[in-house]
Chains A and B, each alone.
Chain A
């Protein structure tokens, strides 16, 4: 993975010292809250319902085992013993004290991490495929370009005060696990006519109160021009984005207003002026960054092991885990392992300090010290030999981390919701807990099959409800929590917006209604048809009839 050079260390170290001084001045009253608020937000420090919340960037969702150990230590020493992995591949701490935040940032800086640009109207953490560098599906490791974009966008003076926040996602494979079509800019790696690498460029995707799927403005951008083209897009947006109304300030509103073709035309015109300026990264620098992401030297091994077979024969959870929680690796005899942070009744994305430390140790033992965070709020060990899976799973299972539900109905995305978040209108986590308890039985889970439930506690959509096969949006209905059901969304390469099914339901009935939706699916599905395919075939009518006919 990328290692900080002297400039990275200097920049991050200087920022910690600067923030320490700002906190001291705030506590002494030399800065007002009005003056201090933007400064703390620039360092990822929010004020939520019960406490401050610190959002720490995990660039493109990649962690070393030492970094994960440090995140565990921060949870234990400065917080309440846990952290929350988010849908943007970051981690949030829910209870930091203001006075201790500079110490936390120093602890992060010591392991080459920070919280810069995890808030504010700037380019946020670049997200990508959690299996980057491991999956055989990819054209190239997207983290190379994620790192190039990180360096370009960090403290970029022209793009530090954009009309609104800005999110870029990149996938190295046609198979999209990074929800790129739901981002301000989505990049899909492709090969050009001569086999050269490059990107399909999409703009104007986003969730929130106005869900929009990004539109392609360039079918193929050759790799050397990545930064100049991104810069051209940002310039068009920065100049024309709406700064008067925050609800109309995202790039998706601009692209919708002038049309994708016109946006593309303006971007191309801007790009023509700068494409041969020294903005793009020289080939030797790309090669240098590429070297940090060199694939580990894994031996080709057998994809069969007696110990694995023996455990699978006697343990149904392990057998299911082999099927659901492993992904094929580009090196034969290896897999990428998804560690579910969604046990029955658990809080999606939460991990305790001891769980994080165990996973760090297991990463060292079995996965080249490499850990990933997925936007679906799980942790991944990307390079595991098949022959180690029985030992690995046994260790995970002993810490409550062996649940075989990756990609299944209880692998729920949920935002922090009203339990923590000052923006939320309704709780998300209790509903996720209730649903995962109802689908705790492995046989039932596997019978339902792949199904993505995504829950947001407000219209800002941190829980990605617009992209859920079943999306759930919590609202405040005359002072009472109320939950709307949306069906048919997708965050993958076939991205679609979920459609609102009808009026919402109270907190005491929403879990029953979701079970009813799933019961309808089980009734109408044809052979091995997954939920999304069945919904696309029949539309909302049978679901509406089941949920609303009796009312």
Chain B
């Protein structure tokens, strides 16, 4: 999967199956090694158009549904800080 930060507010977002960006893991694009380069090319175009920064392909854990990042750091980006559940992405309305 591919993660980035939105330019405007820095929020972590993931590249989606329909070629957009979303914090919603249910929409995230999961590509195998053969397809990830093409997906990354498509994702990087958004860096050029100044929607996102720090575009990066990361390993996915597909044992869960929906898939989620395999490593701690991008996994943390899906939840917000664990020590402020009142303020992170979990709260929904704080974010959109």
- CB of A430 within 8 A of CB of B82, answer yes
Which of chain B's residues have a CB closer than 8 A to the CB of A97? 8-10
Task: State the interface size on chain A (CB cutoff 8 A).
Answer: 34
Which of chain B's residues have a CB closer than 8 A to the CB of A446? none
Question: A430-B82, A430-B83 given as contacts; is B73 within 8 A of A47 (CB)?
Answer: no
- CB of B7 within 8 A of CB of A98, answer yes
Task: Among A27, A420, A429, point to the contact of B50 (Cβ < 8 A).
Answer: A27
CA A371 to CA B11, docked complex, whole Å: 33
Which of chain B's residues have a CB closer than 8 A to the CB of A418? 72-73, 76
Question: A419-B83, A479-B70 given as contacts; is B10 within 8 A of A52 (CB)?
Answer: yes
Interface-centre pick from A50, A52, A424, A479 (highest chain B CB count, 10 A): A50
Which of chain A's residues have a CB closer than 8 A to the CB of B54? 33, 47
Q: Which residue of B lies closest to A37 (CB)?
A: B53
Question: A98-B9, A479-B72 given as contacts; is B89 within 8 A of A50 (CB)?
Answer: yes
- CB of A26 within 8 A of CB of B50, answer yes
CA A99 to CA B77, docked complex, whole Å: 21
Task: State the interface size on chain B (CB cutoff 8 A).
Answer: 27
Produce 1/0 per residue, B27-66, CB < 8 A to A: 0000000000000000000010110011000000000000
B61 to chain A, nearest CB (A): 10
Decide if the interface of chain B is mainly helix, strand, loop or mixed: loop
- CB of B10 within 8 A of CB of A47, answer yes
In chain A, residues 45-86, which have Cβ atoms closer than 8 Å to a Cβ of chain B?
A: 47-52, 80-81
CA A429 to CA B76, docked complex, whole Å: 14
- In the complex, whether A481 has a CB less than 8 A from a CB of chain B is yes
A342 to chain B, nearest CB (A): 14
A478 to chain B, nearest CB (A): 10
Task: Among A28, A49, A479, point to the contact of B76 (Cβ < 8 A).
Answer: A49
CA A97 to CA B47, docked complex, whole Å: 18
- CB of B50 within 8 A of CB of A50, answer no
- In the complex, whether B26 has a CB less than 8 A from a CB of chain A is no
Which of chain B's residues have a CB closer than 8 A to the CB of A48? 10
- CB of B10 within 8 A of CB of A29, answer no
B5 to chain A, nearest CB (A): 6
Which of chain A's residues have a CB closer than 8 A to the CB of B53? 33, 47
- In the complex, whether A339 has a CB less than 8 A from a CB of chain B is no
- CB of A481 within 8 A of CB of B9, answer no
Q: Which residue of A lies closest to B53 (CB)?
A: A33
**Can you list 10 pairs linking A and B with CB atoms under 8 Å apart?**
A27-B7, A28-B50, A29-B49, A47-B5, A50-B11, A50-B76, A50-B80, A95-B87, A98-B8, A425-B72
Leading 8 A-B pairs by shortest Cβ distance? A419-B81, A51-B10, A52-B10, A29-B50, A97-B9, A429-B83, A33-B53, A80-B87
Binding site for A on B (CB under 8 A): 5, 7-12, 47, 49-50, 53-54, 70-73, 76-77, 80-84, 87-89, 94
| A419-B83, A426-B72 given; 16 more Cβ-contact pairs under 8 Å | A33-B54, A47-B5, A47-B53, A47-B54, A48-B10, A49-B73, A50-B10, A50-B89, A51-B10, A52-B10, A97-B8, A97-B9, A418-B72, A427-B83, A430-B82, A481-B72
